[in-house]
Amino acid sequence: MFRNQYDTDVTTWSPAGRLFQVEYAMEAVKQGSAAIGLRSKTHVVLGCVNKANSELSSHQKKIFKVDDHIGVAIAGLTADGRVLSRYMRNECINYSFTYESPLPVGRLVVQLADKAQVCTQRSWKRPYGVGLLVAGLDESGAHLYYNCPSGNYFEYQAFAIGSRSQAAKTYLERRFENFTDSSRDDLVKDAIMAIRETLQGETLKSSICTIAVVGVGEPFHVLDQGTVQQIIDTFETAAEQEDPATEPDAATGQEAAAEQGTAADQGGSTDEGAAPMDI
């Protein structure tokens, strides 16, 4: 049988110097629905695509407020994401209890990365199957970090994770040089555009995406659906005059479900019977 000898537990090296279990965990991030983030000097915007697991269910929350100055967007195993955001909330509240000031974002990210790293070095543990985009504001300005299941972390100007995130990354790479001086509203617009790139054909509606903002004088908060729809309408009507949002909901629902099937195929390797990673 073709079996990988080196992936039975996290701590086993392959002769090529790889840790397969860790790589599988990173694969779980790629299978999750997309999350993107971008920042200017003063603001950070997070966005994500909401995918329902089945037609009968609602979608899961992918953006969490950690504190007034920090929020996260996740891709991968939502359950792991919730555990980690609870940890982050705890760290923030403990810090502000002791020092009466907000925890610097960079420190929280390092603590989070250290927590993830431990799971790659203990045979009785498993890595977290979730990637986190951490948006935050502190004394040194606005920050956007990506935390990986491997325990690595990176700071970005703009980034995207999850299924079909490459399309969003391409969009962001084309435009990131202007982000530093972007206004908050332009940043939100770019976030929505980047999310649209990951949809591939499916029409962009406020019901399938969530946008959150943190910035100077603006505590982390998720934009309400009406606001997002308004922003979508401004450039959607400008771009095309087809028939915006007139199709009945059921039809789009089915379309979305069909799209999800193909999404899973493209995002990774699952076929219908396998455990769905696309949460």
Partner 1 sequence: MNFMASKQPENSLLGLESDSQRTLYVTCLISIELGSSLDVRYPYVTGTSVVALKYKDGILMAADMGGSYGSTLRYKSVERMKPIGKHSLLGASGEISDFQEILRYLDELILYDNMWDDGNSLGPKEVHNYLTRVMYNRRNKFNPLWNSLVLGGVKNGQKYLGTVSMIGVNFEDNHVATGFGNHLARPVLRQEWHENLSFEDGVRLLEKCMRVLLYRDRSAVNKLQIAKITEDGVTISQPYSLKTYWEFSAFENPAQGAIGSW
Residues of this chain that bind partner 1 (CB under 8 A):
97-101, 104, 106-107, 110, 138-140
Nearer to partner 1, 139 or 242 (CB): 139
* Least spacing, CB of residue 43 vs partner 1, in Å: 20
* Least spacing, CB of residue 46 vs partner 1, in Å: 22
Per DSSP, 224 falls in state: P
Q: Measured in whole angstroms, how far is the alpha carbon of residue 88 from the centre of its chain?
A: 16
Q: Which amino acid is at 70?
A: I
Residue 211 tokens, joined: 């946008």
CA pair distance 214, 144, nearest whole angstrom: 11
Nearer to partner 1, 95 or 235 (CB): 95
* Least spacing, CB of residue 102 vs partner 1, in Å: 10
* Least spacing, CB of residue 140 vs partner 1, in Å: 6
Give DSSP secondary structure letters for 134-180: EEEEETTEEEEEEE-TTS-EEE-SEEEESTTHHHHHHHHHHHGGGGG
Nearer to partner 1, 110 or 245 (CB): 110
Nearer to partner 1, 19 or 108 (CB): 108
* Least spacing, CB of residue 36 vs partner 1, in Å: 25
* Spatial CB neighbours of 181, under 8 Å, sequence gap ≥ 6: 40, 41
Nearer to partner 1, 105 or 231 (CB): 105
H or E element that contains 13: none
